[in-house]
Amino acid sequence: MGWGDLGVFGQPSKETPNLDSMAAQGMLFPNFYTANPLCSPSRASLLTGRLPVRNGFYTTNAHARNAYTPQEIVGGISRDEILLPQILKKKGYVNKIIGKWHLGHRAHHLPLEHGFDEWFGAPNCHFGPYNSSDRPNVPVYNNSQMVGRYYEEFGIDKKTGESNLTQIYLEEGLDFIFHQNMAQRPFFLYWAADATHAPVYASKRFLGKSQRGRYGDAVMELDYSVGQMLAWLRALGIDKDTFVFFTSDNGAAVMSGPKQSGSNGPFLCGKETTFEGGMREPAIAWWPGHIPAGTVSQQLGTVMDLFSTSLSVAGLSVPDDRLIDGLDLSPVLHNNTLINRPIFYYRGNEMMAVRVGPYKAHYWTWSNSWEEFNRGINFCPGQEVAGVTTHTQQEHTMQPLIFHLGRDPGEKYSISAVTKEYQDALSRITAVVEKHKKGLVPGVPQLNMCDMAVMNWAPPGCEKLGKCLKAPKSQPWKCDWPH
Amino acid sequence: MGWGDLGVFGQPSKETPNLDSMAAQGMLFPNFYTANPLCSPSRASLLTGRLPVRNGFYTTNAHARNAYTPQEIVGGISRDEILLPQILKKKGYVNKIIGKWHLGHRAHHLPLEHGFDEWFGAPNCHFGPYNSSDRPNVPVYNNSQMVGRYYEEFGIDKKTGESNLTQIYLEEGLDFIFHQNMAQRPFFLYWAADATHAPVYASKRFLGKSQRGRYGDAVMELDYSVGQMLAWLRALGIDKDTFVFFTSDNGAAVMSGPKQSGSNGPFLCGKETTFEGGMREPAIAWWPGHIPAGTVSQQLGTVMDLFSTSLSVAGLSVPDDRLIDGLDLSPVLHNNTLINRPIFYYRGNEMMAVRVGPYKAHYWTWSNSWEEFNRGINFCPGQEVAGVTTHTQQEHTMQPLIFHLGRDPGEKYSISAVTKEYQDALSRITAVVEKHKKGLVPGVPQLNMCDMAVMNWAPPGCEKLGKCLKAPKSQPWKCDWPH
């Protein structure tokens, strides 16, 4: 989902009444970022509070490449990383993930191995359908056992776009909240729905209901689901005891076209890029009685802050044996204070850009290669900023391109390097970058190796269902990440 | 001001709390249009309820050219046109315009000759300063007499951007409302501030206060002013008796760069063009107790509807001796109903595009000429849609380019002409266009002739101030409209 997909962030169809209400009852963050312009690394960062380059969710196979966890990926989240639910457990929290995991699908990478008590969902994207011989369909898990596969037991009709997955995920969410409340247990629910990811889907009730086509239908169903969950918290009388945060894991995938992707509002490009359209996210915090209603915070925030903030809210501390990139946003949430902090825009192993205050400096620019672009893959459709949305990896480390995101949110007008404004901004940014690079110890890259043998051929529980498939012989290779 | 300049329409800085509140208390129109991508024709349409091609605010000097009323224009609003205040007078309304008139500056074109009882403001844009020999500075009028000139008695510091004009206009507005209320007279106030028009200005109190630079400061001051006027209506106890509408006369002038122009949100291009960025406008209706609070209307609306709607609200009828393009939006305002109606996008004498439902068909595309573009004038900075943002006037009348503005508000993906969707949309649109063309009687074009002699050399009242200047000899020429 993109920044511009919510009514409150200017989507002209204004079809997200529940999220807009959530904002009216809570705090809106127009300057909130994901940790990476792609799904898996963002989600790893959300749960570890650390940049992908630290937690290992990146590749060194080539320079500045986006990588994620397709079925053939060998790696996943390392046991050396400490995930949010692992720490929450110390205070008796029951942790559940519903929806897409995306931190690796081999046995030792799965959610229940990394602090979650429950899981309903899938380890990978809902691509498919596959023929089960070249490639298995992605399994859906209930806790540690598969209960079926996408396009088989869990249907997605790619022609009509119909799937009731969001409804299943909603039901699971409401049910989990209900039972934890009954048992008076504190809980953490990571509700990771994926209806707005191509192939986009919605349930029958929502199909054709939006003005935006199928993608808008999916947005409406997510909006409805969030509304249902907030209403449920209220009905159970635990709304004042529950911190809720809504955000997305990357910008709208505008390369997928108008029928399979959304809007990044006034921002440049989308998913896969380190322009604002790739990493600025819709974000709303909600906690009646604690977060002042109807407020807007101009705090620069990231998904990694949800790690630190959630721990703070639960009265816990972040690990002190490693560098945590997340910030505790509690002072922002309670008092709308502003904390000075930078935003780092990584693509794989490269720090492409940095934001300090209103200024963003690009040290490297790249949309995608000419080869990919000429094949019709366009990360910036309808947009082109000379020297910025480049099709070769352009290095600007000696003289970064600097933009003022306040008056130029679309990154169209780089500030002339001969101005005082440029020099002042650069000296502030340089200090931040030097400090960052000094403290940077890259993690072991987890997304370098691929192997058809590691795909979801025979997930745990497949025997009971008679759905085990035969894996091919292991033939690992260095994954090819074109973007 | 552009669609994307308000917080409620997704400006990331969210610096328009008063307008956002106005929307929360009233009705938001995300599909509201001006009648022309340029100031003068839009304003003529607002006050006549008729398209520029009917009311004469266009040129035939060249094909599809934007024209307006610079100081050298000979023409202006025709006596044959009936303006909103003229009709409102029948019911005893006192009519005032504050700010920019822009419907011609020669004696017979001025506001008090066309139904307004009072005026405080200027006939033209606040360009300048001029040297008084080649060109006079634009006069500021109080009713029928000039009281000074821009850059002289009414300062605008182009270096710092400081001017207290908006404060003066606000004061005038509050004062007018106060006196009409004291006298128990119904009133019409056309508050036409122009601080967001280049050269952008704000008063000291607002300079440097926004995150968006000087343009943002100007927006903040306009936002503040609207808030003050609504609060004033409330304080006087006439808020439930006053219909208020906020909108703009063209899209953000993005060719003026980030320091002198605003945002058109997710829309294509800006001022001067018939893409959505040029003509879709921020729009909010407010009338406590009559318009349901916090509603969003997907009605397609235009500034011409304000003519018909205001008359309806006042219990008056539109003229029945001519074609009126404005629609009475009362049913929309009161019951949020939807009325089927097209939007016509004209540039000069040419109907460039038409919107019917979610579909927009471009019969002609043009941003600006290669010559202008190569001189650095860019109406679509950072944006380029092949075959759409063309630099030659491209005719598509045999097979219009059609876009679905619901899923593609940015006009990036024209629908393939071989699809059923295209054919269905085209047949609906064709019927609308045929009807429109059949009923079209173009007015006498008022914006064809220019003459240095007609400039504001010696406006009425100049003698008292000792500010009369000598006009050159009349040498009329056909104005050159490059865009």
Is the minimum CB–CB distance between A442 and chain B shorter than 8 Å? Answer: no
Q: Which residues of chain B does A413 touch, with a Cβ-Cβ cutoff of 8 Å?
A: 257-258, 381
Q: Dmax over Cα atoms in chain B, in whole Å?
A: 69
- Band of residue A280 on the pLDDT scale cut at 50, 70, 90: very high
Q: pLDDT class for B248, splitting at 50, 70, 90?
A: very high
What is the C-alpha to C-alpha distance for residues A448 and A463, in angstroms, rounded to an integer? 31
CA distance B320 to B327: 14
Could you give the 3-state DSSP secondary structure of residue A141?
strand
- The per-residue pLDDT for A250 is 97
B280 neighbourhood in chain A, CB within 8 Å: 12
- Binary contact (A407, B213; C-beta < 8 A): yes
Q: 3-class DSSP state for residue B69?
A: coil
Query: Is B212 within 8 Å of A407 when comparing Cβ atoms?
Result: yes
H-state helical runs in A375-411: none
Report the chain A residue with the minimal C-alpha distance to residue B387.
Answer: A382
Q: Yes or no: say if B336 and B297 are a contact pair by the CB < 8 Å rule.
A: yes
Q: How far apart are CA B277 and CA B411, in angstroms?
A: 10
**3 state DSSP class of B360:** strand
- A39 catalytic per annotation: yes
Residue B10, helix vs strand vs coil: coil
B9 contacts A298? CB cut-off 8 A: no
What the block records as the tokens of B346 is 């004209």
Burial classification of residue A463, based on how many CB atoms lie within 10 Å of its CB (0-12 exposed, 13-18 middle, 19 or more buried):
exposed
At B362, give phi and psi (nearest 5°). Answer: -95, 120
ipTM for the complex shown: 0.95
CA distance B330 to B319: 17
Confidence of residue B189 (pLDDT cuts 50, 70, 90): very high
Q: What is the pLDDT of residues A101-129, one digit of tens each?
A: 999 999 999 999 999 999 999 999 999 99
Q: Which of A244, A171, A248, A235 is nearest to A203 (CA)?
A: A171
Nearest CA in chain B to A414: B258
In this structure, what token pair is assigned to residue A39? 């799904």
| Residues of A with Cβ-Cβ distance to B9 under 8 angstroms | 10
For Cα atoms B257, B73, B53, give the angle at the middle one, nearest 5 degrees.
Answer: 80
* Cβ proximity of B52 and B346 under 8 Å: yes
pTM: predicted TM-score of the whole model, two decimal places? 0.96
Residues of A in contact with B411 (CB under 8 A): 382
Residue B86 to residue A377: CA distance in whole angstroms: 57
Quote the CA–CA distance of B435 and B351 in Å, as a whole number.
13
C-alpha–C-alpha distance, residues A374 and A371, integer Å: 5
Average confidence (pLDDT) over B176-198: 98
Q: Are A411 and A389 in contact (CB under 8 A)?
A: no
Find all residues with CB under 8 Å of A357, minimum gap 6, and list them: A340, A428
Spatial distance between the Cα atoms of A210 and A187, rounded to a whole number of angstroms:
33
Q: From the centroid of its chain, how far is CA B287?
A: 22
Q: State residue A3's pLDDT score.
A: 98
Amino acid at B69: T
| Percentage of chain B exceeding pLDDT 90 | 100
Residue A441's identity, in one-letter code, is V
CA distance A266 to A4: 8
- Pick B407's closest partner by Cβ from A259, A384, A407: A259
Residue pLDDT, tens place only, B152-182? 999 999 999 999 999 999 999 999 999 999 9
Whole-angstrom distance, CA of residue A26 vs CA of residue A40:
28
